[in-house]
Chains A and B, each alone.
Chain A
Amino acid sequence: MEPSALVLIVALPFVAGLVTLVLRSDSRALATAIAGATTLACLVLTALLYPSVSSGGSIRRDVEWIPSLGLDFALRMDGFAWFFAFLVSGIGLLVVIYSRYYISPEDPVRRFYFLFLAFMGSMLGIVLSGNLILLVIFWELTSIFSFLLVGYWHHNPAARDGARMALTVTAAGGLALLAGVLLIGHIVGSYDLDAVLDSGNLIRDNALYVPALVLILLGAFTKSAQFPFHFWLPNAMAAPTPVSAFLHSATLVKAGVFLMARLWPVLSGTPEWFIIVGLVGMASFVLGAYLAMFQQDLKGLLAYSTISHLGLTTLLLSLGSPLGLVAAIFHMLNHATFKASLFMAAGIIDHESGTRDLRRLSGLFRYMPITGTLATVASAAMAGVPLLNGFLSKEMFFAEAVATHADSWVDVAAPYAAVLGSALAVTYSMRLIHSIFMGAPPESFPREPHEPPFWMGFPVTFLVIACLVVGIVPGLTIGPFLKVAASAALGTPAPEYSLAVWHGFTVPFAMSLVALGGGTLLYILIGNYLEKAERPPFFGRIEGNRIFEVVMMAISWRGARFVEAVFGTRRLQPQMLALVVVAILAALLPLSGGLGFGSFRGGVVDPTFVILWAVGMACAVAAAYQAKYHRLAALVLMGGTGLVTCMTFVWLSAPDLAATQLVVEIVTTVLIMLGLRWLPKRSETLVEPGGLLARLRRARDFAVAVIAGAGMAAISYAVMTRTPPDTIANFFVEKSYSEGGGLNIVNVILVDFRGFDTLGEITVLGIVALTVFALLRRFRPAPDTIERPEQQRIQYAYDEEDPDREPGATASDYLFVPSIIMQWMFAVVIVLAAYLLLRGHDAPGGGFAAGVALAAGFILQYMAAGTNWVESRLRVLPVKWIGGGLLLAAFTGAAAILFGRPFLTSYFRYADLPLIGKVPMASAALFDLGVFALVVGATVLMLIAIAHQSIRRLRSARIEEQP
């Protein structure tokens, strides 16, 4: 029960998201209700699982995925994962309630909730992954969905740019993370999270530790917007505010620090970890706070503040002490609560007053006292004012910063950086409240501000109360949960710590006082300057996003143009030549040690075989020679080669191939003949002038062709003269009857052993047929092919001269006898196709050959009586055949699942039918029937689509004739 709940928590948001996507476009309330119910269900399920993880245990659910690669769909929940899952789904629920009022009816609501839910599912996936590769997959999914969410208002260029930048940075980090995870898997020998967490010493002592660490940290830093990758976060503020509240406070950006905490027992504690993580964390903490002070956009201020607080968390994680980890986890929660509420409050201010520019906002308190109070309390939590949750974790942070962890200057600098960053946090928090709510109201707002509807303000109220309650009675509220989470993250019981508001007059408390006092003083001194600052002094010029733009420009525009200028061509022939030459070189490379012909010489050759191929080769060469001026001759010659190939299959023990090749040959020939009609006239008398250059080109192509052919011949001979090694063929021969229930091994391979491949193949076939159909729907013939062909003109002229003759009579007279035969043959062809299909499992035949044969039967009717005649009598509906065939094949495969077997497992037995006798009844036969139907549909659709053009020609000719 419990393990299934894990799957449910991750799967539910995705399923519900897809459901919202197919709702009617006006069902805004229903979409909101679905999203709310889903997040609530995830929250309740998570809450119900608490007893299973509270005593230090974990829940697992393993589904085998690709075991040979060590990749399982493993979900795992321990105390730490529980803590995060609860946070994600809890904030998710509040944000859904909030968005109900924020997202306007003009916006595509279904898309919003789909993306929102899918993002939440991916985020829960990261948190609950029990396999590192799976974690990376969910990680990338969050990057993609956050890209789509940030770019939700895609008509806004800033949103598009911000989304693209966020995706580029975080997805690049995701790739680095994947590489790092692969290294970890290589060291440990498993991607399983439990196994990895048990191998801390193994990993830290390995020579690959540093590369793995750096790669994983790149992933974490980019995701958590840590310096120097922080610049994407402020740019992502073009997102709708609910997205910012969810992604940029509680979830997406927390994924990075979550990962660092998750792998903390394995990766931390080394000097490399301490220096890299500590420096990055410290830089982000101080720099983020510094830059936040100068922002004029309310959300921009919050974004930089987020960078700063995540830097604080990173710094705590770098210390390598268990208490640091506890403080980091605590601060992740605290930051999520006060920052989510601030983002939502910012959204309310923006929504109700029409602007979020700090220079334009002021005196809002008298219009919205409740929102003002709530935002003030949340900002105080952000600043670390006592009796609020932010104070507690900041207190722990100060204590850890003062304590000595490693002998280096980073450790010495930590307490000063901590006080400095916290003081700046006080300054920007004060600025936020003071410039928005205090002072005189301006003459006019874009909109007359007022309090939001109750339910829009509710999430903010709830979170602010949480800040207060946790801040006042931490031990009674968050205490036990934090202990469970911290013990699970540590892997050992959590160290002793005290969650109290008052610890006496200690060094950390003194640091808090200094930070509060210093920050206030700083705001009093430079508050007015901050209101007018265009850009921050000192660091303002180092703009990460400018560097990013320059790099992207160089790669994606200049680089691409350079490559195109050097290597690019719009002509096909040079591309083909390059392709062939590269293929030849690639084939030569492994042969540098010599070709090594085998010793097997085979028996005496039958002279007939030699003569056969002498004809076959002559046909091929002649076809190559004639293809330019004598298209029909080339087609006939090509057919000759095809027939020789077909006979070769018969000769060399491949009856199935021969049958298929024969029918395909027929259909291909008909098809190309239908197409010949639309090509321009070309005759040898109109030879184009060919200069020396043209002759040289031909000589070069000829040489390439000869080399390619000689190479193919040499390689084939080298392979054929070697004694074959033991191959998987033995397996198929031995198991074909006992497990596949068929005597025709080739057919059993196709419909049973490799049925999945066949399913893919027929899908491709169906797609090609539909593409052909679609391409020809808007076909317009070239002007010189609109007229009737010359022969038809003569025939029609003859018919018109004679009053007794109908127009077109001569053409039907020519084909009178053949057409009778062809019509009579229809039934025979149908029987043949059925015969080929039914015997396929035990004797040469099968769905492919039968399908093409039946299609040939249809095409005979078109040839015999003309398109109009057939279409008025016979409704073939090829698209239905295609769809039906594909569904039949897929359902036959899926039926195996009902019996608890893997997809496409076949079942067979012999049934005794009266009169007919013993008949094999394999489920594979049904699959083959699906293949048959699809091949019939696809082939007929293509042939009809091309044949139909002759009618269209008449239509367009008629339009031309009309004045």
Chain B
Amino acid sequence: MQAVKYARAADIDDAIRLLAEGGDKARILAGGTDLIVQARERKRDVDLFVDVKHVAEFMSLEYDDSSGLTVGAATPLYELYGDKTVQEKYPALVDASTVIGGKAIQGRASLGGNLGNSSPAGDSLPAMIALGGIATVAGPNGSREVSVAEFCTGPGRNVLESGELIVSINFPAVSDSEGAAWQRFIPRNEMDIAVASAGTWIKLDGKVVADARIALGAVAATPLVATGAAEALIGNELTDEVISNAGDAASSIASPITDMRGSVKQRTHLAKVLTERTIRDALDRINSQ
């Protein structure tokens, strides 16, 4: 482990103060499942961990019918997917959070950590984008809201200004006419980074799609919002042809790389496959409600 100190924040202001005092090499420590490893392997220059897990706001999990679901940035995935309301109303979050690492990772890893790490392959990101997630960000100059869709700016890079941290992520309340799903492709059945992933949210009016959001992971330098794919659905019934059109639209915006996890050809194709599969899953969920 590189030379790193540890500080435990007492409240949000304390976390902001510690982060500011720590300077550029200070990092917020949530579950640590990415950060501790990166720091140990000297892939990220860190000299201070600011642990926020003893601050209630970072560990929250709250739902009400008007403001929706609020998930603290460091709330472990284990609690998130174990929650009955989340299972009932936000199954797309369960799809993603149950497969990030193994069970021992999920005891610590968090949505906020996944977002802050800003990997293009971050599993929960397309699910959060599809669900319209909004991150509450706090810093020395107060707090602000950033949509998850606009959060990442490149691999490991994001819109956080120096001294800012993620406090929580909010997802709008959902109705029975809405459904969402997330899928990824991995070569094994667990313990892999996504070769590609997709999250889809649809809202039906009768049989017609009234609104939709589709997001893709691991097919570009950041998670992508597949606007064209969503537009291919809106105003239409979900026929095979419409779903296939959405898949093609998703595939057309993929600009992946070839690396040890996947090839351009494979990832571009999977963008279509996973988009189509998540549309069907989302529809099934509405129909089964």
Please indicate whether A and B come from the same complex rather than being unrelated chains.
no
A-binding residues in B (CB < 8 A)? none
B-binding residues in A (CB < 8 A)? none
